[in-house]
Structure 1
Amino acid sequence: MKSISRLFALGILLLCQFCHEALGQSRPPAPIQVLVSPDKADWSYKIGEEASFRVTVLRHQVAMENIKVTYAIGPEKMVPTRKGEVVLKGGNAVIGKGKMTTPGFLRCDVRVSVDGAVYRGIATAAYQPEDIRPTQSLPADFREFWEKAKADARTVPLNPVMTLLPDRCTDKTNVYELSFQNDIAGSRIYGILCVPRAKGKYPALLQVPGAGIRPYPGLTALADSGMITLQIGIHGISVTHPPALYADLGRGGMRDYFYVNLDDRDRYYYKRVYLGCVRAVDYLASMAEFDGSNLGVWGGSQGGALAIVTAALDKRVKFLASQYPALCDLTGYLHGRAGGWPHLFTGNNLNFLNKEDKVKTSAYYDVVNFARDIEIPGLYAWGYNDETVPPTSYYSAYNVIKAPKDLRLVQETGHWTYPEQINEINEWLINKLFGNQKEKKAN
């Protein structure tokens, strides 16, 4: 078995690639930077406490003088409660003040026009986020519904099909495109399975995907280090086609898949997705190469949601890692605050989706309700400036988790992650995957 440090080094490149391509982690450089900072170093405030924000505009990393900026302050994703403009003197200005009377996040959005282009910066003050509670209801038959759904799905044999991908194999790992049946409709889940060639028993890591539709490369470097990895898609199509095909599908027939059949809890799009994640665990647990105990799930954004869902639905999962999970507290907008991605009940969606049957269905798929059933250690990572998945929404889920939880908070991050955070997540995953094996050897 490789050392933990060797595993850590080999895994970093792959995790960085995943975060960059699938989660949009990197920020493009610009000659104009709008820096917005709250007046408290930890970005944290008590209910009713006023927050102010310092603004600096840099051009080629030098503060610009006598330039006008516009600003808007208010609860994240809501209509601003204060707007204005100010001219920067001495290279910066302090704007605000704002405050909140309930737990949540107060965002300051600053914009400046330079040479015909608009540049923007934000900062988000946290008001007692540990006190945020869900708005979403818990259906009385929530657990019964999902137990039956799992039982029904498992009446269908997995019927796995494995196709070796010789060009992706290494001298240590065989790489396959894997598919298996995942529900009573006979749909299939496709993914990339990486299995160490050497005979032995190995831990397993399931990676669940962020939103969208794309091909997948497989987690080959991690498998080379001595683990089984399965990286799945959720849309029931092969994950080895040319990228152009997925782009066409994403703009065409599979656009806005997260709204499909929201009026029917038994036909909503995510039912087969959630069950597909459970069937992926079924498959991994059935493998002769699996060590029988060390199985984790990890993902970010939509994948962060699916990681929590999978761990709640299948107790064979022993740990999870979730970055800024989507699909949390979907009804937040109906209660005057930010709700989770995909923002079902706000904006242009409100008139179309704000119907009783759709709201009721959302409760069966809201990550908040799965988070209540988490019983295993979890690593969670996010920041306060996330505009894709509002922090109000994922704190709603995080705060109801009673199991051991480790939060890696970097306040200024949005829907992206610093390399240092990726290193921490990677190290945590590897320690969890191999920790039990190390303890057994020590004994």
Structure 2
Amino acid sequence: MRSSSSSKQAADNSRGINGHILTLHQRLYHALNLGTRCCDDKGPKWYYSDIEIQRLVVRSVDAFLDSISAESLQHQVVKESVGDIVGAVGSILASKSEATMRLASDVAVKIVRMIPSSMLQPHFSNLIHPLSSLLSFRELRVAISCASALNLILSNLTSKREKKVWEILKTTKVVGDLVENVKGYSTENKATEYFQEMASLLSKILWRWPPSRFHVWTDKKLFSILDTVKLNPDCSIKIAVMQLFSALALCGNGTNKLLEDGEGLVKIMVDSLDSSNPYSVQIEGLRLAQCLMTSEQGCSKIIKLSCDPIVKAIITLMSKWSLDAGKLAKDQMSILVEACRLALITRWEGDHHFYFWKAGVDRVLLRLIIGNSDTTQQSLHSLSLQEQIVKLEEVFDTDVLLPLRPYVWDILGCLTANCMEDFFPKMHGNETVFNVLVVCAW
């Protein structure tokens, strides 16, 4: 008679796995075993010289992945298959056979999307090398899928594997290929998705690996193309262009190059901050502004070009939020965080300080502290200092905006440290609000 512990182990082993998955698993390995298997330091690899066998393998992998649920992903049968699946699809991609590339590249995207990054990380090399080599493949659908898969891989890449991945990207000359692909978008009438994936991938590489940036910011033709593409009204194109500009601005020389056409770039950046835009566009606009204004020199250049509109946009985005059933929507919190980060340009001296006070930054900061409680600025006005403290303590530690509080104190500190010698809150009609902020900080 089977013991209770044995029964429990059997139940645990079969959890999430049904007969259909096991059948597809058997078919998968039947197909895999039609090739030659070998192992190296990168893991298992499979080689198939016959096109029909390649098709069979890719379709078997595709069917197996379609049968897997979130629960079955944790099963040993699935976990032990990951290395072989990646090795087989990677080898088929490396063959660059036109007959199988489209299906194989689509399955590569499915692998990266479905299988948890923690399971894939040890096998990334077997995918990154062939995918990188196919970014300029003649069939655009294949190139787009390869870029999409690489975008997903780099989004989940741990710092531990950065050095190894960068060596692969250098070997396959990915940066040069991506630059040429981006330049070819506007001249060859390619799909929007093509530019979006290529520009996004290039941005991720520029963010992670600083040595990649020189090759990009020194390419005059690329900047000329981007000057044209940035005028495209399509939101996905706008986002991709701003992500690329943000990555280029991480390098001081890149910032200087971007600001050679300062007025055009700043206008697009400010326009993207308009609250009528989708959240995704606003967030990328805020991040671009942060990157361009990281240094005092960059901040000074942009402030001279468009001080009032930028400050007004920041204040508007920090003000336009509301609670729903006592909660703040995730998108609204993301906007608030990025807007507060941009408001830290107050760490630099300049005319923008005057515009921040003029736009009522103190009222905005106070609202971010006390939230939408009944403790309004009007009610605090008539209270004594001690009564204000009591009122504020009622809401101070219960607000859903608590994660924003460090930004509020930093912004207030920067404003105070860099205010003009003759500044006094009363000159903007804000004396009471300013005093309440001081009480909060105290």
Q: TM-score with structure 2 length normalisation?
A: 0.21
Structure having the higher helix fraction is 2
Larger C-alpha radius of gyration, 1 or 2?
Answer: 2
Quick one: higher RCO (CA 8 Å, sep 6+), 1 or 2? 1
Q: TM-score with structure 1 length normalisation?
A: 0.21
